[in-house]
Amino acid sequence: MLTHPLVLRLQPDEHPVGSRDLLLFAPAAAAGVDYASAAGCGNRPLALTPASAEQTRRYRRNGSLPYAAVNRTPPLEVRRELRREVGFGCPVDGCGSPYLTWHHFDPPWNEHQHHDVAGMVALCREHHDKADAGAFTREQLRQLKTKRADRVAGRFDWMRQDLLLVVGGNFYYRTPVPVQFRGDPVVSTTRDEEGQLLVSLGMLTTSSESRLRMTENFWISEGRPSDLECPPSGRRIAVTYGNGDLLSIEFSGVSEPAELGTRYPDASPERWQLTYPVMTVEVRMRVGGTPLEFGPTQTTLPGNNMMRGCFAADCAVGLAFG
Ligand SMILES: [Zn+2]
């Protein structure tokens, strides 16, 4: 029996439950005594506390730790299903935040580690914390799983004086319109009053349905995405549609040229006049039913034209086509 609770402090990005716990629990379990359960997640302390009577009973019945290998982050498919059932936004009335987290409520995580969709609901960080504190009953949480956010929108906060746009494997710096189609910007930047660059994007599509669009860092999801992923860090969104349309945007900081070269093998940062640290904005886009794609490493244009590793700086327009 543990006589004192153990307390571990984990980094915010670490997920506390998994093999780490198995190592901690194994000696107690092997000795045939009660085992400990884990409570807490994310950037909160992980407290190891003595097992409840129910947990002890379950352990003795199963003869093994029932959740030893379960990580608190649900598998991809479970996350996708949880996002989809709430319409890609927090289902609490008046919220709709797209920055979703995964709440285990039936049974709660500290009673049994599981990733059963029926006992989980996608909530924003704020409502997840409230749910953890007991703000909602199980019945209310089950009800929330049937609601869909009315309006799903968000904003990128990652503002800098300069941005390196990485669109379809090509690089655009101090170029207000990196990509233009038939005279209209597809990817563009503008400066706010403080000189910070803001990004606007319009999805190219052959569908008549609405698509996600972003104007000066504010984005709104319209139409019917098949998936919309938007981690609470707010550094990335990725949206897909049934006809194969795809858009993803991701902001990340780069501190020196070598880092840029490692991330993008086709880049030649030693020849580019960039000011470091630099914020990159990586944009990928696929237009369903057409060969047009701004992929991870190259741009594919109709007529089997491909471009990769090109660098445009101080141009009005980087790539114009159509
Ligand atoms: Zn919420």
CA quadruple 48, 50, 56, 59: dihedral sign: positive
CA of 45 to the centre of ligand 1 (A): 23
CA of 95 to the centre of ligand 1 (A): 5
Domain total of the chain: 3
How many helices (H) and strands (E) the chain has is answered by 6, 22
Digit-coded pLDDT (tens) for 34-89? 333 333 333 333 334 445 566 555 555 554 444 444 678 899 999 999 999 999 99
Digit-coded pLDDT (tens) for 212-267? 999 999 999 999 999 999 999 999 999 999 999 999 999 999 999 999 999 999 99
- Mark the residues whose beta carbon lies below 5 A from ion ligand 1: 90, 92, 95, 97, 124, 127
User: Is residue 20 located within the same domain as residue 91?
Assistant: no
CA of 69 to the centre of ligand 1 (A): 29
67 lies in some domain: no
Last residue of a domain, one of 117, 150, 183: 150
69 lies in some domain: no
Cα separation, 218 vs 9, in Å, equals 35
pLDDT of residue 54: 62
Digit-coded pLDDT (tens) for 203-213? 999 999 999 99
Any residues with CB less than 8 A from the CB of 15 and at least 6 apart, and which?
Answer: 41, 71, 72, 73
DSSP state of 40: -
CA of 89 to the centre of ligand 1 (A): 8
User: Is residue 165 located within the same domain as residue 313?
Assistant: yes
Residue 16: pLDDT over 80 = no
Query: Across all residues in the chain, what is the average pLDDT?
Result: 83
User: Is residue 134 located within the same domain as residue 115?
Assistant: yes
> Residue 45 is part of which domain span?
6-62
68 lies in some domain: no
Last residue of a domain, one of 150, 172, 199: 150
Q: Which two tokens stand for residue 282?
A: 């990586």
Higher pLDDT pick, 3 / 237: 237
The lowest-confidence range among 54-68, 93-107, 281-295 is 54-68
> For residue 186, what pLDDT band results from cuts at 50, 70 and 90?
very high
User: Is residue 28 located within the same domain as residue 101?
Assistant: no
The pTM for the full model equals: 0.77
